[in-house]
Amino acid sequence: MNSKTLVIVEHDNQVLSSDTLKAISAASVLNQPVNVLVIGCNCQPVVDSVTKIEAVSAVLVADSEIYEQQLAENSALLVQNVSEGYTHLFAASTTFGKNLMPRVAALLDVGQLSDVIKIESEDIVIRPIYAGNALAKVKSLDSVKVITVRSSAFENAPVNNASNAEIQVVDINIGNDSSQLIERQKTQSVRPDLPAARVVISGGRGVGSKENFALIEQLADKLGGAIGASRAAVDAGFVSNDLQVGQTGKIVAPDLYIAVGISGAIQHLAGMKDSKVIVAINSDSDAPIFEIADYGLVGDLFEILPELTASL
């Protein structure tokens, strides 16, 4: 059987998610034809974008009102329907991919390889376990490999201006009467997306209050970076939960990660220890974060942050 890959595209009906570029890049490691599936409603702008990705040879489009919200119940059935002939199904390990792909895998009666950081061959991958404290090399014996990939471990797939990908309309309409979307609130931010940012400034419990987070914001704006947070800062209500960096939040690997007032619990390190350069600013010289920081500065963040922002 010829090997063929299908990547499930993530988007909001208008804009292609950059995580999909990472998933396509991971899929192209296998050197086999890569097709993509766009599920949505009035999603032509997304189709236009994906046809320009070099590695993509065909774009399958299921454009219908019933897919507007991209809920897992009917989306998974649709993927199951179009997946015949594919040996590999990929998606990014975002909340969209994590929600949908295991449902697809189970419908196909196969396992899933989650949050993969390296594709070794067509059936062997490497993935972190135990909050990144171990790496497992796993071989899949399944006929179809369902894989979600960690965005921070892959580069963006190259994009062309010419589009060579063939468009195939998928005329399969599967309804969904068991779940409905009531509302979706996306936080509007002028700063870069956390997983895609080149610089991330994160605050923890030590920042003390929501108001004090302004110090983190000022530094982030100066460096053109994104803002992150530890679980303690989110639980204390300093920032919204979608900024949490760690095992259960976002995984980031920017060029520069500045941890401010963060002790460095295992669960937080899981989300940022692959950053190229880590800076820790903390008043406690025994904080575990200093064990992994390239540069550590022990002191009062309320003095250090304004000085740092001013000197950049």
Partner 1 sequence: MKVLVAIKRVIDPYSKVRVKTDGTGVETANVKMTINPFCEIAVEEAIRLKESGLAEEVIVVSMGESSCQEQLRSALALGADRAIHIETDTECQPLSVAKLLKAIVEKEQPRLVLLGKQSIDSDNNQVAQMLAAITGLPQATFASEIHIEGNKIEVEREIDGGLERLRLSLPAVISVDLRLNEPRYASLPNIMKAKSKPMEQLTPEQLGVELSSSQVTLEVMPPKARQAGQIVTSVAELVDKLRNEAKVIE
Residues 168-227 contacting partner 1, CB under 8 A: 177-187, 193, 199, 223
186: nearest Cα among 82, 102, 96: 96
Q: Which is nearer to partner 1, 59 or 293 (CB)?
A: 293
- The stretch near partner 1 (CB under 8 A) out of 43-51, 128-136, 161-169, 206-214 is 128-136
Q: Which is nearer to partner 1, 2 or 285 (CB)?
A: 285
- The stretch near partner 1 (CB under 8 A) out of 29-37, 56-64, 137-145, 152-160 is 137-145
Q: Residue 175: CB partners within 8 Å, gap ≥ 6?
A: 66, 74
297 contacts partner 1 (rule: CB under 8 A):
yes
**Which of 15, 81, 85, 129 is close enough to bind partner 1 by CB under 8 A?**
129
Give the Å distances, CA to CA, from 182 to 77, 179, 185, 188, 266: 22, 10, 10, 19, 36
Contacts with partner 1, 234-273, as mask; x by CB under 8 A: xx----xxx----xx-x----xx---------xx-----x
Indicate the pairing of strand 256-260 with strand 295-298: unpaired
**Which of 50, 55, 71, 233 is close enough to bind partner 1 by CB under 8 A?**
71
**Which of 40, 132, 228, 271 is close enough to bind partner 1 by CB under 8 A?**
132
Angle 213-223/301-310 helices, nearest 10 degrees?
A: 20
The dihedral built from the CA positions of residue 273, 274, 280 and 285, taken in this order, carries a sign that is: positive
Q: Which is nearer to partner 1, 136 or 214 (CB)?
A: 136
Question: Is the CB of residue 157 less than 8 Å from the CB of residue 28?
Answer: yes
Write the DSSP symbol of residue 130.
T
**Which of 139, 160, 172, 209 is close enough to bind partner 1 by CB under 8 A?**
139
Instruction: Report the C-alpha gap between 101 and 147 in whole angstroms.
Output: 8
Cα Dmax for the chain: 64
Contacts with partner 1, 80-99, as mask; x by CB under 8 A: --------------xxx-xx
290 contacts partner 1 (rule: CB under 8 A):
yes
| Tokens 């669960």, located at residue | 267
121 contacts partner 1 (rule: CB under 8 A):
no
Strand partners, 228: 202
Q: Which is nearer to partner 1, 6 or 272 (CB)?
A: 272
